[in-house]
Amino acid sequence: MPPYNRRLSLIGPNCSMCCTITSFFGIWFLLILGGLWSAGSEMLLLTTGTDVNYKNIGMSCYIGAGIYVFFLLCCSCQYWYRSKIVAQEEELATAAEASSL
């Protein structure tokens, strides 16, 4: 197994998992809102007769969902990388105990 550099682990495992879960639900929420705005749902405005560009609001939701996809990838990679570091440290500790006996 190649040695993993601890400095590349930017955030801890709990924070990265929390960010991954939050990003996952944020993506779905913004995609649904973007679809509703793009479809021109007037129920989202709670008023009638206003001049609102539904397509621009929907596009903003899609851009926000894209940003959440980026953070989902970054945080899930951090979680994976951190778990590899922990597994390597446990393996090295087990090997050190076995060699000392």
Distance, CA of 25 to CA of 69 (rounded, Å): 10
- Give the pLDDT confidence score for residue 51 in this predicted structure: 80
- Give the pLDDT confidence score for residue 53 in this predicted structure: 87
- CB under 8 Å to 72, separation ≥6 — which residues? 20, 23, 24, 27
- Give the pLDDT confidence score for residue 2 in this predicted structure: 57
**Average pLDDT for runs of 10 along the chain of length 101:** 60 84 96 93 76 90 97 90 78 78 67
- Give the pLDDT confidence score for residue 24 in this predicted structure: 96
- Give the pLDDT confidence score for residue 100 in this predicted structure: 73
- Give the pLDDT confidence score for residue 63 in this predicted structure: 97
Distance, CA of 82 to CA of 12 (rounded, Å): 7
In DSSP notation, the chain reads -PPPPGGG--S-HHHHHHHHHHHHHHHHHHHHHHHHHHTT-GGGTSSSS----HHHHHHHHHHHHHHHHHHHHHHHHHHHHHHHHHHHHHHHHHHHHHHH-
- Give the pLDDT confidence score for residue 86 in this predicted structure: 74
Where are the chain's structural domains? 12-43+52-100
- Give the pLDDT confidence score for residue 16 in this predicted structure: 86
